[in-house]
Amino acid sequence: MTIPYAEQLPVRHPALAAADPELAALVGAEERLQAETLRLIPSENYVSPAVLEASGTVLQNKYSEGYPGRRYYEGQQNIDLVEALAVERAKAVFGVEHANVQPYSGSPANLAVHLAFAEPGDTVMGMALPMGGHLTHGWGVSVTGRWFRGVQYGVRRDTGLVDLDQVRELALRERPKVIFCGGTALPRTIDFAAFGEIAREAGAVLVADIAHIAGLVAGGAHPSPVPHVDVVSTTTHKTLRGPRGAMLMSRGEHAKALDKAVFPGLQGGPHNQTTAAIAVALREAGGPSFRDYAHAVVANARALAEELVVRGFDLVSGGTDNHLILIDLTANDVPGKIAAKALDRAGIVVNHNTVPYDTRKPFDPSGIRIGTPSLTSRGLGTAHMAQVADWIDRAVKAAGAGDEDTLRAVRAEVAELMAAFPAPGLPV
Ligand code: DSN
């Protein structure tokens, strides 16, 4: 196997390098890639060195099926305290009565919600995936749309905003057991209060999937769903800047159903090293500098959106309220996938994405999705956003024209700026 840059890599992982040089070189190559590029995928971030260390500890060696004080294995003297710490911190940061920190990731967390509140064949409701929702909110190819009857709402064609009239009409007509709000490509504030009213009217359990915005909620840069919803589902690795994992939170009345659904309903032993890293991330998210981070993410996204609009880009809903921007490239005459690949060659990492009412296929859609969590973690501010927009503009135009020289030139400029803003936990 040829590993890019293998011969130049500094060895930061001596045990790994000695035992498995090939794998160590790949890790080193990834470190270099993450350090040199401008990472704009809105669901990614850079964890702190402390989170990284916690997730690589010997807690990995322990089996702990069950919950603190109620395990199926002995030797939990420390693990129980680790999990209890993570749970206490989740409750404090999000202001909830109950937290389960064991879901392996967002998709199993959402499946556990189905297991807790619905039976196979029951109706569940969520936002359609191509409109900005998530696979696990009842979309047809997911188990949540195959074993349950998924009904789906979208955004309005004229505004790009969630169509709350459609949500109410569907909810009252279809009487779903569970309603999900939130998604993966929603650039605007979610009106949790409005969803709460509709769910109460329809007699449904309301779940806010805040995976994308959890860090913004924790840092006070997005309204909290907690007063309005029954359950909060989130991953821990996006704006919350923790390890790859998830949490389910709720009022006390739903604690038992959720815990039972996660274990033994769906999972076996929790990933204790991840639980520890979640605890560390929550401690960071509860500190004052995280508030600054969350607000800076939003300020950067707003500034970037404005600079993109100035350059003629068509943004779904016209802009953003949060960390995420969805660009419809139809008018640029460059398909999303071609643009995303060209941007990647230019050192700007994004993902191609459907836009609402897309006429193209999901694997080759009309848009790209970008966001500011990662660049904000590296210390870039609003003053840099004109430069970022300019690079995107040049790279998209170059993609259309097949101009590889421009992509190479942008890549060099990106690497130079990123070198001045070291990535947390990565070599300079
Ligand atoms: N893959 C996540 C995202 O990028 O938004 C959702 O599962």
Convert the pLDDT of each residue in 306-364 to its tens digit.
999 999 999 999 999 999 999 999 999 999 999 999 999 999 999 999 999 999 998 89
| Residue 10: predicted pLDDT | 55
Question: Which atom of ligand 1 has the smallest separation from the CA of 41?
Answer: 4
Q: Which of 212, 234, 322 to mutate to test the pocket of ligand 1 (most atoms within 8 A of CB)?
A: 212
* Residues 96, 299, 362: CA angle, nearest 5 degrees: 80
| Distance in Å, CA 14 to ligand 1 centroid | 33
Determine the Cα–Cα distance for residues 306 and 308; give it in Å rounded to an integer.
Answer: 5
Q: Is 184 in the pocket of ligand 1 (CB under 6 A)?
A: yes
Return the active site residues: 63, 65, 209, 235, 238, 244
| Residue 12: predicted pLDDT | 81
* Residues 27, 40, 138: CA angle, nearest 5 degrees: 95
Question: According to DSSP H, which parts of 238-287 are helical?
Answer: 255-260, 272-285
Determine the Cα–Cα distance for residues 331 and 292; give it in Å rounded to an integer.
Answer: 36
| Residue 151: predicted pLDDT | 98
In this structure, what DSSP letter does residue 231 have? E
Q: Which of 134, 139, 142, 325 to mutate to test the pocket of ligand 1 (most atoms within 8 A of CB)?
A: 134
Q: How many domains does the chain have?
A: 2
CATH number at residue 351: 3.90.1150.10
Amino acid at 393: D
| Residue 427: predicted pLDDT | 78
Helix (H) / strand (E) containing 291 = helix 288-310
Domain range spanning residue 388? Answer: 297-419
Nearest Cα to Cα of residue 42 among 402, 377, 390: 377
| Residue 3: predicted pLDDT | 62
Tell me if 231 sits within 8 A of 221, measured CB to CB.
no
- Residue that is last in its domain, among 243, 265, 285: 285
Q: Which two tokens stand for residue 387?
A: 């430069």
Q: Is 136 in the pocket of ligand 1 (CB under 6 A)?
A: no
pLDDT tens by residue, 108-144: 999 999 999 999 999 999 999 999 999 999 999 999 9
Determine the Cα–Cα distance for residues 40 and 384; give it in Å rounded to an integer.
Answer: 14
| Distance in Å, CA 150 to ligand 1 centroid | 19
Which residues of the chain are under the pLDDT cut of 50?
none
- Residue that is last in its domain, among 234, 250, 285: 285
| In a shared domain, residues 58 and 202 | yes
Determine the Cα–Cα distance for residues 153 and 190; give it in Å rounded to an integer.
Answer: 14
Asked if the structure places residue 12 within a domain, the reply is no
Query: Would you put residue 243 in left (φ > 0), alpha (ψ -120 to 50) or beta?
Result: beta
| Residue 9: predicted pLDDT | 57
Q: Could you tell me the pTM of the whole model? A: 0.96
* N-to-C CA span, the chain: 26
CATH number at residue 130: 3.40.640.10
| Residue 354: predicted pLDDT | 97
Burial class (CB in 10 A: 0-12, 13-18, 19+), 389: buried
| In a shared domain, residues 135 and 211 | yes
Burial class (CB in 10 A: 0-12, 13-18, 19+), 268: exposed
Determine the Cα–Cα distance for residues 247 and 371; give it in Å rounded to an integer.
Answer: 22
| Residue 7: predicted pLDDT | 54
Determine the Cα–Cα distance for residues 349 and 341; give it in Å rounded to an integer.
Answer: 8
Determine the Cα–Cα distance for residues 248 and 255; give it in Å rounded to an integer.
Answer: 9
- Residue that is last in its domain, among 260, 285, 310: 285
| In a shared domain, residues 252 and 324 | no
